[in-house]
Amino acid sequence: MGKKITIGIFCLLQSTFFVVAASNDWASEIIEYTSGENVPFGYTNASAALWHASGITDFEGSNTAVSVINPPWQNNQIVSVGTGGKLILKMGKRVNNYDEPEHPFGIDLLVYGNTFFVYDYNEGLPETNTWYTSSEEPAEIWVSADLTNWFIVTNCYADALLPTQSIDINGEPSDYLYPPSPDLLSNDWFDGTWSYSNTVAVYDGSAGGAPVDLSQLKAADGEATNLSYINYVKIENPISENAAEIDAIAAVAEIPEPFYLSFIIYHFLFISRKLIQ
Ligand SMILES: [Ca+2]
Ligand SMILES: [Ca+2]
């Protein structure tokens, strides 16, 4: 009985730790929200943009996996930033600007929206049925370390490329903290060759999102700059007549940590075994 309780508490601690650790990777606090104009009714709940991006959404009455053709759309999943609107969120932890290898492709932050690729239903299943447009509603992404000095992201927009994909090509869960290649931002998605299968394949296990590199920023005076870290993200929409939707904002996971850790653990075990022998 005592042992069971101990194991139970241990598991509880483990799962609590897991939840807390996972949460820190996401936007965790609303600093400011102004809906702006042209916002769909009911889509003004800014807390929908906090924590983990959506993995499932309703489709004709049943839960289905979020994908590049099936975006999150429920008003507890996304918040709209209309024309003249603004959403400022604090990240759950400091987001560092790293290059390879700590951050794949040098991408530091991922902004998830609800864009999707559009294909002609009349031409059959989406696996090989090519995209002819997307539902993008681009909004500016700004970042700040101190909530005073803001810098605009120059390499991508929110609620544009890339649509969210919750499962990989094998149907396994995508990694929402692993960035897609930023080369995909300049890909010609509508050249008649891109459909579900090859799109998901080039995501390479990432879940998509707008891939932000903190080395590709501009100051208010237009000068190119970078930041070594940020704590705040602002989505602003002076561009689009349509409201942009935000699902979540994630810090990219640092790659080498587990490798270093496993390296240390391996050597610790190796030395311990030698000592015991
Ligand atoms: Ca970077
Ligand atoms: Ca949208």
Give the pLDDT confidence of 100-131 residue by residue, as tens digits.
999 999 999 999 999 999 999 999 888 999 99
Give residue 198's pLDDT band: very low, low, confident or very high (50, 70, 90).
very high
Q: Which ligand is nearest to the CA of 98?
A: 1
Give the pLDDT confidence of 83-92 residue by residue, as tens digits.
999 999 999 9
Helices (H), the chain: 2-23, 196-203, 256-276
Give residue 7's pLDDT band: very low, low, confident or very high (50, 70, 90).
very low
State which amino acid sits at residue 138: P
Query: How far is residue 63's CA from residue 159's CA, in Å, rounded to a whole number?
Result: 22
Structure tokens at 29: 């606090």
Q: Which ligand is nearest to the CA of 179?
A: 1
- Rounded to the nearest angstrom, the distance between the alpha carbon of 149 and the centre of ligand 1 is 19
Structure tokens at 189: 């998605």
The alpha carbon of residue 157 and the mean position of all alpha carbons in its chain are separated, in whole angstroms, by 12
Greatest Cα-to-Cα distance within the chain, rounded to the nearest angstrom? 72
Q: Which ligand is nearest to the CA of 103?
A: 1
Q: Which ligand is nearest to the CA of 100?
A: 1
Task: Give the whole-number percent of the chain exceeding pLDDT 70.
Answer: 84
pLDDT of 146 over the 70 cut: yes
Under 8 Å between Cβ of 163 and 208: yes
pLDDT score, position 148: 97
Beta strands in 43-197 (DSSP E): 56-59, 62-65, 79-81, 86-96, 109-112, 117-119, 131-134, 140-144, 151-153
- Rounded to the nearest angstrom, the distance between the alpha carbon of 229 and the centre of ligand 1 is 9
Under 8 Å between Cβ of 149 and 224: no
| Backbone torsions φ then ψ of 3, nearest 5 degrees | -60, -45
**Residues having C-beta closer than 5 Å to ion ligand 2:** 114, 137, 159, 245
Residue extents of the structural domains in the chain: 26-252
pTM confidence score:
0.85
Structure tokens at 93: 């932890």
- Rounded to the nearest angstrom, the distance between the alpha carbon of 111 and the centre of ligand 2 is 12
Q: Which ligand is nearest to the CA of 235?
A: 2
122 secondary structure, DSSP code: G
